[in-house]
Structure 1
Amino acid sequence: LTGDMSLTKQEILRTQMLVTTPEKWDVVTRKSTGDVALAQLVRLLIIDEVHLLHDDRGPVIETLVARTKRQVESSQSMIRIVGLSATLPNYLDVATFLNVNPYTGLFFFDGRFRPVPLEQTFIGIKALNKMAQLKDFNTVCYEKVLIQVRA
C-alpha cells in the first residue's frame, strides 16, 4: 500500500501479505470501515528499520505498536510483532516496548554473524562550534580515506 497506488477493499481482503510504510498503515488502520476491519486480519506485523523509533517517524511506529497491542488485548487474538534493524544498540529496550520475552523471543545477531568482518574506529572531535565540527569531521574523513586508498 502506497500513496501512489490504491487497492479496493476487496483486493486488499484477498491478499496474503501487505507491504506498506508506517504512515500509510497508520492511516488505513485508524479509519477502518466496513464489517471487518483490515487490522483485525493481521497476524504478523514486521517493522523494518525499528531503530527509527528514535527518529521523526518514531511516534507513528509507537502508535502502530500501541494500537496493535490494544487490538490483541481487546480481541484476544494473536498478532506477532517483529522488529528488524541492522543498527540497534538498545535492542533490550525495544524488546521491552514490543513485549518480547527476552529468553524465548529475542534474537540478537552481533558481529560474529557477519560474513565479512566489520572494523570500527571511533574518533572524537573536540570543536564546540557546529561549523568547526563539520570542518574537523570532513578533514578527518578525508585523511582516513586517503590512508585506505594508499594502502
Structure 2
Amino acid sequence: MFSKACEYGIRASIFIATNSSKGIRVGIKDVAKEIDSPEPFTAKIMQILTKNGIIHSAKGVGGGFEVSNEAVKTIKLIQIVDAIDGDKIYRGCGIGLKECSEAHPCPVHFEFKKIRGLLHEMLSKTTLEQLASGVKKGDFFLKTLNLE
C-alpha cells in the first residue's frame, strides 16, 4: 500500500520518537539497523522527514535525530505519508488503471473508495505519540520476530 520508503519513514519516525521521549538522540546507523533499512536509503528518508519538519537533526558530538515532546503530540501519521508518498494513495485506482472515475469505474472502484476514505481518516487521527507510546509499552513492535 505504502512505498518502501514510506514504510521505513513511518518506522524511523516511531523509533526516533520513542527514543526522544527518553531524552536520547539516535544516529543514522541506529535508525537503519532498527528499521532494517540500508543506511544510504535511510539517510535519504531522514532528509525528507527533516525537510518536512517531522524530525529534527542535530549535528556534531551528541547529535542525531529527535522529535520534541511538543511535536510528537501533534504530528499525525498522514504528515509522514504525505511527505514521502504524497497524496496518490487517496486518489489512485485500486487495480492501477490510468482512467478510473465515478463515471468510468473499475471493478473495485466503489469499495476501494470507501477503504481509501477510512485510511485517510485513520492517518489523519493517529499521532506519532500514540504509536511511540505503544512501542514503549510493548504493545507494538517495529521489527519482525525471528521465530526460527
- Higher normalized contact order (CA 8 Å, seq sep 6+, divided by chain length): 2
TM-score band, normalised by shorter chain = under 0.3
Which is helix-richer, 1 or 2? 2
Larger Rg: 1
